Structure 1
Amino acid sequence: MEEAAVPLLEQAQGIVNVVQAAASEWSGLVDAYRAPEAAELVAAFGTPTRVSEGLRAGLATVFRALMGYADSVRELNRRRGVLLEEIEDFRRRTRLRLGEAVPFDGVPETPSLGSSHGKPVALELAELRQRVSSLAAEHEQAEQDCARLICAVRPVDVSVPVYYDGGTVTDFAVERTRSRLKDLESAEVAGATGALEMLELLGTLTPGQLLDYGMAESDFLRSGFSSPPPVGQVKDWWAGLSSEQQAALLVAAPGVIGNLNGVPFKARAKANRVNLDAVFKDPRTSAVDRAALQVIYEALEPRKGNDEDPAAPRSMVSFTPDENGKPLVAVAIGDLDTATNVTWNVPGMKTTVADGLESWTKSAQDLYRGQERALEIQDDHPGVAVVSWVGYDSPEEPPSAEVLSTELAKAGGAKLAAALDGFTETRASESVDVNPPSLNVVAHSYGTTTASYALKALKHAVAMATFFGSAGIEWREIGSAADLHVAKDPAGKPEVYVTAASEDRVAPLGIVGSGLRGREGRWDPADDWFGGKIFSSEGGYDPDTGKVYKRTAGHDAKGWAVDGSGDTVFAATTGHGYLDPRTESGHNIALTSTGRGHLIKELIPLRHEEKPGYGGMSFPTGPLIERDLTPEELAEEQSR
């Protein structure tokens, strides 16, 4: 399908080129031909030129529809392959055929043979059938979406040569609208008023006209508004559009829609994917930038789970192709339109799309899984979502002095505040029966500095904030945790949690180094002045069960260094990062970011293996014991 779609666009452009070349040659008559009808003769190629442009616009619409359908089919085929494997496994274990009319009351209520989850056969069969039906419905919807866009293309009308699908807008009105849109572009849509006017003008165009405008102004429409309209006005505007206009805008203005608070996140994700594809395929995109964009594609691939732990959907909820020479992106794990517990995960220094998105999104995935486990402990299952937010220009690592300054943190904090308030207002409901989602912020290293500025600037308080491995807070501007717009517990203390590992040697350097710049010196939020709720990252054993939680052994959110190597001077070892599964810090951050910080336990400190010494005596001088305690060992610890 893609192979068939590309020649369509190439042939359309070829027609335009031929007609324009002929028109250029024809215009040479103006110097060689003198007669009363000369102007009409020279203008004779005006209509063919407009018609060829209209043909290109129509075929471009068909091209985009087919390419979008191809992307949908590719994803559906991938999921179909996974489902077929599971169906075959089900058949093997139960000797049932999915298509057979097996009465549920005739299926034994016993676990499936070889099943890892122990579901009754009837329930497992019903779930598989439901997934088959859902997949078929999604395929049908993709076909309908493609057909809707293609059917919007109409034969070129010489009287209105450039635009499609007729509509009630006259040629003069369309030209006036396009002229005003161009004026707004030239002014770079200064202020929210100009941005709102642009949206309202776009709302007067038909789907075909929107696609034509988007093709003509594609570079401008790859970026979002610098000063977007109020979210409430955007929500009303979006709701007032037809579904066909909405679908066309995702293609015509992907950068605008993909970053526009007030538009549903599912629609934003589709627009951002269109934008990503366009930038990636643009011949002007450098090899370096294309490599960075490839990292985004990989980050959007959901990690395959199993029957009990299915892979969570991933989507791109914001995308800026180029800011200070590099892209910015936010990847959501889970559904931001429906999740009742949402967490923004804010990274620290040197976290770019090219160098940090992969690792940071893996840490966001670890946090997502940890939150699910924390909620299961409570037998409470609201939907969760975690945003891997690489949405600001983070500082370079030393020897660059950027990390010692707060300049990038202030700029990033403004972006983060807009994203958080935008989420709150987008999800706000006028119905008293709808509870707002719980919004949380988790921040690491220099990201805590950035988050502190954002949390102070918020219009709407978040439920919780957790800082780990902090590079320091600017104490002259933020006097304590009480200055942040974060909810308070029943005792009136802000729900702001802080942890710092004793083996984290990087965070203290950032704090001390910032003081070398004089007035900008930052202080450690783990100290008493800040008033945060402190928890440990040193690891230990659950005092009730003996379950081990590993220590954090470095500065990273996700550990990667080989134990005993020189990298461990500053880097966390594999499995010992702040957000790694089964670490004390990762477990506690999952609790705080689901409103369960009060369940944090004081653990039994990790024990060392005992090594024999002189005189037959043993001393605890060996490596730390990072395994669950036996009942006997737990009883011994409890008796101390």
Structure 2
Amino acid sequence: MTVTIDVPPSQPAEVIKPEGDPGGADTLAEALHTASGRYEEFSDEAARIQWIGGWFGDAADSYREATAEAGDEHAAMGTTVERVGRAVTAYADTLRDLLRTYDEQVERKRSLDDRRTALIADIGATTEATPEVVAALRERATELRIDYSELVTDHDDLQRRVREAEDLLRQAFQAGTSLDAALSDDGGIPQFAQDAMDRPGAPGTGATPEEVRDWWEGLSEAEREAVVASYPELVGAADGLPAGARDDANRVVLDDDLATLRAKAEDGTISEAEQQVLDNAEQAEQALEDADAFEDPITGERPGGVLYLYDPGAFDGDGRVAVGVGDLDTADDVAVFTPGITTTMADTTGYTGQMMNLYESTRYNGDGSSVATLFWLGYDAPDAFYDPATLTEGRAEDGGRRLADMVDGLRASRSDDPAHLTAIGHSYGSTATSYAAGDFDLAADDVVLVGSPGAGPADHADDFSVGEDHVYVGRDSRDFVAVLGDEGWIGKGGLGLGTDPSSDDFGATRFEAEDVDRSWHRNTDEAHGSYLAHDSESLYNIGLVVDGHGGDVNTAEHSYDPWYDAPRDPEWDRDPSSGVEGESRTRDQG
């Protein structure tokens, strides 16, 4: 009896590689951004020389009219060239993704072809075609046919995405090729992108994070790429969008800022405010380079960096920024860290290093769950210890509101796959985090306060949205800021910003957070800033909380204020550990 086994053909005949060089596209984008800066410089100069003292009459009027017109035209062309440059930047990023997908499909086809060759060989080597043997071979052939079919479908999708990306780039160039387009209300934005932004739920319309998420999910791949390229500032700041989309958009704006402002700096035409924006942009650039190069300590893979928020000119040049380490869209455990006073975008690189420390601690001492850590500077932190804003809670309240909104957006973007989320606040940032959890229903699972001058509106851990059992506090006994909060029946005369969360009256879980260096100079800002330092007690315990195992932290006795004496901290006399067993083996970020 003849037995037939239908072996599927190898499909597709060839995996077609997308054409183009992302590096070349980046070079073109940089040239366009530089050209945009030149147009802007001309417009600024035209405004400066428009009025010449002592010159009046018809000729002077004609001169001023012509100068103003030329300035307006150059400003409009600068905006249009900038938008084309952003489209090219977005295309370069898209092309990188397409090439990665191509490489994956080439590998899939190679694996399927190997399976096909092995199947044919096994069929040819079969000497006894028992029903069981035939059934097994036919099952392998069926599975192979299904896998080839899926590859063909994915390959067709890849080619469609290639065509859409190229069409979008062509539209961007066509929309920006004339002065009329530059001077139009849309400034040369492709109609494709404008139509997408006119739909309900688009960023900038006052939509809720959930509505923004639904809007995004209703867009095609091409429409998403179009709005990222044409409206990157709106997309990059939109709560409810995936972190990956915000990262794509914010990197487009970052690349634009770097190229345009560096060109101005080279020409000597950069203003003081623009120089501050450039300094902030370069901090974000360095932080992203560090985060992108970071390797997971367990797998050795690079989880990648995320530019979740980028607004380098905000708060009179202090800037707003959020840089993540790991995939915020998929990580099982997510930590959001809010810093305190004196923090500006100038500190972005250093805090990103601390996020690497926290990532490693969580992975080393965790249960194998995936991790993402985020440095979030989305509020206007007070400028210094002597800043009057430091002595009040106004900015902490505003920061708490902004933090709660941001977390709501992160939650909305992952409504079908919620992460275990820990909100960590340091110093004045702990007071902001307390406002988020106490007054604005922060959608976190756990809250960690370290180096806290006070818990703001909360008198007790149970006032927080996460509940008493999910509030953790770290306080170095030599930290001069963390002793300012009120405790006991007398308090400290309003020196701090609410109740000391490490005190017995507050009811949080206090963990060990001492530094092994007990020399006198540790009673300074060094102790206050060491909570995420390499191989510290604090870092170890915070990592456990982030991993969802707060019950395993090494607990410390609470501080207390007896009515008959000064406040006391039992941790003052304990010998700290330089390396808790199983503690994070993170490298020192300096």
Q: 1:145 to 1:52 in 2, by over 3 A?
A: farther
Shift of 1:371: 0.9
Q: 1:70 to 1:230 in 2, by over 3 A?
A: closer
SS in 1 for 2:396: helix
2:170 paired residue among 151, 176, 181: 151
SS in 2 for 1:342: strand
| 2:340 aligned with 1:348 | yes
Question: Does the 8 Å CA contact 1:346/1:442 hold for their aligned counterparts?
Answer: yes
Map 1:446-525 onto structure 2 (within 5 A).
446-459=428-441, 461-474=443-456, 477-486=457-466, 488=467, 493-509=468-484, 522-525=498-501
- The C-alpha deviation readout for 1:109-129, integer Å capped at 9, x for no partner, is xxxxxxxxxxxxxxxxxxxxx
Shift of 1:532: 0.5
Question: Does the 8 Å CA contact 1:5/1:66 hold for their aligned counterparts?
Answer: yes
Structure 1 runs not aligned, ≥5 long: 22-30, 32-50, 80-100, 106-135, 164-173, 180-201, 214-223, 430-434, 539-550, 555-563, 604-620, 630-640
Q: Distance in 2 between matches of 1:535 and 1:269?
A: 34
2:371 paired residue among 371, 381, 384: 384
Residue of structure 2 in register with 1:291 after alignment:
279
SS in 1 for 2:327: coil
| Higher RCO (C-alpha under 8 Å, 6+ residues apart) | 2
| 2:397 aligned with 1:410 | yes
Shift of 1:447: 1.1
- The C-alpha deviation readout for 1:290-328, integer Å capped at 9, x for no partner, is 112211111112244378433331111112232221211
Q: Which amino acid aligns with 1:338?
A: T
- The C-alpha deviation readout for 1:214-263, integer Å capped at 9, x for no partner, is xxxxxxxxxx85x8321222122222333322212112211111111122
SS in 1 for 2:319: strand
Residue of structure 1 in register with 2:542 after alignment:
589
- Residue identity over aligned pairs, in percent, reads 27
2:309 paired residue among 303, 315, 318: 318
Q: 1:157 to 1:590 in 2, by over 3 A?
A: closer
Shift of 1:455: 0.8
Shift of 1:416: 0.5
2:256 paired residue among 278, 285, 298: 278
Q: TM-score, normalised by structure 1?
A: 0.58
- The C-alpha deviation readout for 1:592-624, integer Å capped at 9, x for no partner, is 122211122469xxxxxxxxxxxxxxxxx9x98
Shift of 1:626: 4.2
Q: TM-score, normalised by structure 2?
A: 0.63
1:531 paired residue among 507, 510, 513: 507
Q: 1:460 to 1:248 in 2, by over 3 A?
A: same
| 2:192 aligned with 1:207 | yes
Shift of 1:289: 2.5
Q: Distance in 2 between matches of 1:532 and 1:589?
A: 14
Q: Distance in 1 between matches of 2:321 and 2:74?
A: 37
| 2:92 aligned with 1:66 | no
Q: 1:372 to 1:140 in 2, by over 3 A?
A: farther
Q: 1:509 to 1:60 in 2, by over 3 A?
A: closer
SS in 2 for 1:572: helix
Question: Does the 8 Å CA contact 1:343/1:386 hold for their aligned counterparts?
Answer: yes
Q: Distance in 2 between matches of 1:597 and 1:350?
A: 30
Shift of 1:520: 7.6
Q: Distance in 2 between matches of 1:250 and 1:157?
A: 17
Residue of structure 2 in register with 1:334 after alignment:
326
Question: Does the 8 Å CA contact 1:443/1:466 hold for their aligned counterparts?
Answer: yes
Q: Distance in 2 between matches of 1:496 and 1:368?
A: 20
Q: Distance in 1 between matches of 2:306 and 2:450?
A: 26
Shift of 1:479: 2.3
Question: Does the 8 Å CA contact 1:442/1:593 hold for their aligned counterparts?
Answer: no
Shift of 1:504: 1.6
Q: How many residues align?
A: 443
Question: Does the 8 Å CA contact 2:485/2:497 hold for their aligned counterparts?
Answer: no
SS in 1 for 2:526: coil
Q: Distance in 1 between matches of 2:450 and 2:35?
A: 56
Shift of 1:457: 3.1
| 2:417 aligned with 1:442 | no
Question: Does the 8 Å CA contact 1:344/1:389 hold for their aligned counterparts?
Answer: yes
- The C-alpha deviation readout for 1:403-423, integer Å capped at 9, x for no partner, is 221111111111111111221
Q: Distance in 2 between matches of 1:524 and 1:406?
A: 15
Q: 1:104 to 1:313 in 2, by over 3 A?
A: farther
Q: 1:52 to 1:498 in 2, by over 3 A?
A: closer
Q: Which amino acid aligns with 2:233?
A: G
| 2:338 aligned with 1:363 | no
Map 1:26-175 onto structure 2 (within 5 A).
63-70=85-92, 146-152=165-171, 162=181
Q: Distance in 2 between matches of 1:267 and 1:579?
A: 29
Shift of 1:385: 0.9
Map 1:601-616 onto structure 2 (within 5 A).
601=554
SS in 1 for 2:418: coil
Structure 2 runs not aligned, ≥5 long: 1-23, 47-57, 59-72, 101-113, 119-154, 265-270, 557-572, 582-590
Q: Distance in 1 between matches of 2:77 and 2:196?
A: 13
Q: Distance in 2 between matches of 1:307 and 1:627?
A: 19
Q: Which amino acid aligns with 1:375?
A: G
Q: Distance in 1 between matches of 2:384 and 2:74?
A: 53
Q: Distance in 1 between matches of 2:546 and 2:537?
A: 14
Residue of structure 1 in register with 2:387 after alignment:
400
Question: Does the 8 Å CA contact 2:454/2:485 hold for their aligned counterparts?
Answer: yes
Question: Does the 8 Å CA contact 1:553/1:577 hold for their aligned counterparts?
Answer: no
Shift of 1:55: 10
Aligned alpha-carbon RMSD (Å): 4.9
Q: Which amino acid aligns with 2:498?
A: R
| 2:410 aligned with 1:423 | yes
Residue of structure 2 in register with 1:258 after alignment:
236
Question: Does the 8 Å CA contact 1:439/1:464 hold for their aligned counterparts?
Answer: yes
1:375 paired residue among 354, 357, 366: 366
